[in-house]
Structure 1
Amino acid sequence: MRIIKAKDYVDMSRKAANVISAQVILKSNAVLGLATGSTVLGTYDQLVEWYQKGDIDFSCVRTVNLDEYIGLSEQAEQSYRHYMEVNFFHKINITSTNTHLPNGMATNLDEECKRYDRLIESLGGIDLQLLGLGHNGHIGFNEPNEAFEKLTHCVELKESTIQANTRFFEDETSVPRRALTMGIKSIMQAKRILLCVSGVQKASVLQQVLTGPVTPAVPGSILQMHPNLTVVADEEALSWYQG
């Protein structure tokens, strides 16, 4: 495990973007596992800036996103496909057919989960998986549970997750209650994992994830077992860290 302490959110975003850009420069057709949410938004902004300066080329990159809400079309403003298009894909030279998310509108969700796992396998696996961290320790939409869910699956979102995501919707009742998400095994099979965490409100859960027992009650704790984990977090999120 490698922990990189950043000064603030902007510095965290820049350092995380450095890790991703190095991966793309090293392997032009890299498979990037991508995340959504406010934490990684600055990382995408930095990558876009470097692309516009000609420092990075995404023309051969393939991407697979962690998750998608069930019941939201790709065109819905709150869908993760829309988030990715608006904040990243439309601003770089990535080929649209090389970008993949689970289909939250699939008529057969079990088959969609199996299809997504086959897709990841067909791409040769994920070279670098970008992750944020939920307030309850979830990664992707893998919520606290009695066991680690291995592969892509449907998940019932916890109330704390629904509350955290309400800011992106008109009101709490508009937030989908279910989502499709990569499982823990899918995430852990990535050759490298980059975890980004920002803010004092995430300090306690980050400490649990990195130093507490490995337990499905804190899904992110499984990352302790990954052989190539890089954590980029700001001073507030790492206020407990003495390294």
Structure 2
Amino acid sequence: MTVIVVDSADQVAAQAADLVVEGLAGWSNPLLGVATGSSPLGLYAELAQRRSRGRLDLSGVRGFALDEYVGLGPSDSRSYAAFVRDRIESPLGLERGAIRVPAGDTADPAGYAADYDREIRASGGVHVQVLGIGTNGHIGFNEPYSSLGSRTRVVELTAATRLANARFFEHVDEVPRAAITQGIATISEARRLVLVAVGEEKAEAVAAAVEGPVTTRVPASALQLHADAVLVLDRAAASQLREH
């Protein structure tokens, strides 16, 4: 695990973008794993700016999203399919559908999750996986006490996660109660992991993931076992680290 600490959110985005571009370079069919939510927005914006300035061409990139709410179809503006379409594919100049997102409106979520996992493996695997981290140490929707060997599956969302995500809905009662998420083992098969974190509210989780034991209580601690995992943090997010 490598930890990079910089001074600002803009520097986090720039450093993470360098790592993503470097990790995708040289592959004939580069596969990018994308995370949704607020943490990676700066990274995606930085990549989009580089493209708009003619410094970057990602048109050949394909990939997979980490997760999707059960019950939300791709036309729902609150779905992660909509996030990927509007915040990633379009700004980065990717073809529509280049990033596969789990089908939240499938009639058989559990069966679909298993098929999605097999599809990632059949593709040859993700070259660079972008990650955020929750205040409880989750990655994707892998909440505390998720198995480190978990695969893509349906998970019940905790009350805390639903409350944290309520800002994207009119009321917390509208937040779905389940999601399809790649498992920790699935995520860990990517060749490079790039986790971004900004702000003091992430500091405790970051410290537990980096300097605490590898434990299911802190799912992001699994990154300690990865051969090429890089955390890019601003100073606030790194403020509880003792050795960095």
Measured against the shorter chain, the TM-score band is over 0.9
* In the alignment, structure 1 residue 220 sits paired with structure 2 residue 220: yes
Identity, in percent, stands at: 37
TM-score scaled by length of structure 1 = 0.96
Instruction: Supply the distance in 1 between the matched residues of 2:118 and 2:34 (Cα, whole angstroms).
Output: 17
**Correspondence for 2:96:** 96
Q: Which runs of 5+ in 2 are unaligned?
A: none
Equivalence map 1:1-243=2 (5 Å): 1-27=1-27, 29-145=29-145, 147-148=147-148, 150-241=150-241, 242-243=243-244
Letter in 1 for 2:92: I
CA distance in 2, matches of 1:26, 1:234: 29
Distance in 2 of aligned mates of 1:156 and 1:165: 14
TM-score by length of 2: 0.95
Q: Secondary structure of 1:205's partner? A: helix
- State whether residues 128 and 194 of structure 2, in contact with CA within 8 Å, keep that contact through their aligned partners in structure 1: yes
Which amino acid is 2:29 matched to? N
Give the distance between the partners of 2:127 and 2:147, measured in 1 at CA. Answer: 26
Separation in 2 of the partners of 1:70 and 1:45?
A: 27
Judged with a 3 Å threshold, the aligned counterparts in structure 2 of structure 1 residues 129 and 218 are, in CA distance, closer, same or farther, namely same
Asked whether the equivalents of residues 28 and 58 of structure 1 are also in contact (C-alpha less than 8 Å), the reply is: no
Q: Is the 8 A contact 1:136 1:160 kept in 2?
A: no
Amino acid at match of 2:21: S
Q: SS where residue 170 of structure 2 aligns?
A: coil
Matches of 1:195 and 1:116, distance apart in 2: 22
2:97 & 2:28 partners in 1: Cα distance? 16
Asked if 1 retains the 8 angstrom alpha-carbon contact of 2:70 and 2:176, the reply is yes
Question: Alignment partner of 1:193: what SS?
Answer: strand
Number of residues paired by the alignment? 243
Q: Which amino acid aligns with 2:42?
A: G
Quote the offset at 1:180 in angstroms.
0.2
Moved more, 134-143 or 83-92: 83-92
- Name the CA shift for 1:146/1:78 in 2 (closer, same or farther; >3 Å): closer
CA distance in 1, matches of 2:148, 2:192: 19
Structure 2: distance between partners of 1:115 and 1:147: 19
